[in-house]
Amino acid sequence: MLNNRAYLGEAVHKGTSYPGEHDAIIDRELWDAVRTILKESPRVRANRSRANTPALLKGLLWGSNGAAFSPSHTRKNGKLYRYYVSQTLLRQGAGACTMGRISAAEVEGTVVEQLRSVFRQPEAIVGAWKSAVKNCPTIPEEDAREALTSLDPLWEELFPAEQARIVQLLIDKVIVGSAGLDVKVRVDGIGTLVRELRAPALEAAA
């Protein structure tokens, strides 16, 4: 649709467009705006979208000492570096905690990989279904399995804002310490996600 000039009321023959006999259903201003966006590199668009999206683990990351980690960033030689910094470090200074600052890319990547691994494990999916039916008894196990397994291969296609929404929905807390990460999943969030992923299939069936 984004490349079909017929929506502009034009006909295309051998690569050349001509005024068509049908009315346009997309106005020229909107079409030109879309073309401008599509000319930009997909990588650049994705990076800008991610930069304008709230940090993936905002409000979810905590140290083993109970202190929250807040998202922050810095620029060096024109490059953006994102990280999470402990409130202990901010309040008490360097040396107050053993892990005061961590790379946002590394911790987010690890958490997302752990989350996605849940969607690949049959036993984890069964557990997710059992938690989901507590709030919605009508969800069949097969529907829960199909909904959750479909999410993993689609993850990279999601906009950063949608990825962040799903992470916030599914994760209650991430505790970071010298021994690694402890990801605590929200049981009610799993049920909500299953219902959301299942809704389009029900609408299509109807």
Residues 85 and 184 in one domain: yes
Does residue 178 fall inside a structural domain?
Answer: yes
pLDDT value of position 84: 93
Q: 177 is in which domain, residue-wise?
A: 54-205
Residues 35 and 84 in one domain: no
Express each pLDDT in 120-166 by its tens digit: 777 777 777 776 677 666 677 777 777 777 778 888 888 888 888 88
Express each pLDDT in 158-190 by its tens digit: 888 888 888 988 899 999 988 888 988 886 777
Question: Could you tell me which residue, 50 or 156, shows the higher pLDDT?
Answer: 156
Does residue 35 fall inside a structural domain?
Answer: yes
Does residue 139 fall inside a structural domain?
Answer: yes
Span between the terminal Cα atoms of the chain, in Å? 25
Does residue 44 fall inside a structural domain?
Answer: no
Residues 64 and 9 in one domain: no
Express each pLDDT in 94-129 by its tens digit: 776 777 889 998 999 999 988 888 777 777 777 777
Strand locations in the chain (E): 10-13, 16-19, 61-63, 69-76, 79-86, 101-103, 171-177, 180-185
Q: Taking the model in full, what pTM does it have?
A: 0.63
Does residue 165 fall inside a structural domain?
Answer: yes
Residue 12: left (phi > 0), alpha (psi -120 to 50), or beta? Answer: beta
C-beta separation of 174 from 182 below 8 A? yes
Residue 165: left (phi > 0), alpha (psi -120 to 50), or beta? Answer: alpha
Residues 107 and 198 in one domain: yes
Residues 119 and 156 in one domain: yes
Number of H helices, E strands in the chain: 8, 8
Does residue 175 fall inside a structural domain?
Answer: yes
CA–CA–CA angle 176, 182, 188 (5° rounding): 125
Output 174-180 pairs: Cβ under 8 A, ≥24 positions apart: 174/57, 174/60, 174/61, 174/62, 174/107, 174/111, 175/62, 175/63, 175/64, 176/61, 176/62, 176/63, 176/64, 176/69, 176/99, 176/102, 176/107, 177/63, 177/64, 177/99, 178/64, 178/98, 178/99
Residues 34 and 58 in one domain: no
Residues 61 and 131 in one domain: yes
Q: How far apart are CA 29 and CA 6, in angstroms?
A: 15
Helix, strand and coil content of the chain, in percent to the nearest 5, comes to 50, 20, 30
Does residue 9 fall inside a structural domain?
Answer: yes
| Residue in 169, 77, 187, 82 with CA at minimum distance from that of residue 127 | 187
Does residue 48 fall inside a structural domain?
Answer: no
Q: Is the pLDDT of residue 60 over 90?
A: yes
Residues 131 and 31 in one domain: no
Residues 142 and 87 in one domain: yes
| Residue in 48, 158, 150, 166 with CA at minimum distance from that of residue 115 | 166
Residues 166 and 142 in one domain: yes
Residues 9 and 108 in one domain: no
Give me the number of domains the chain comprises: 2
Residues 87 and 140 in one domain: yes
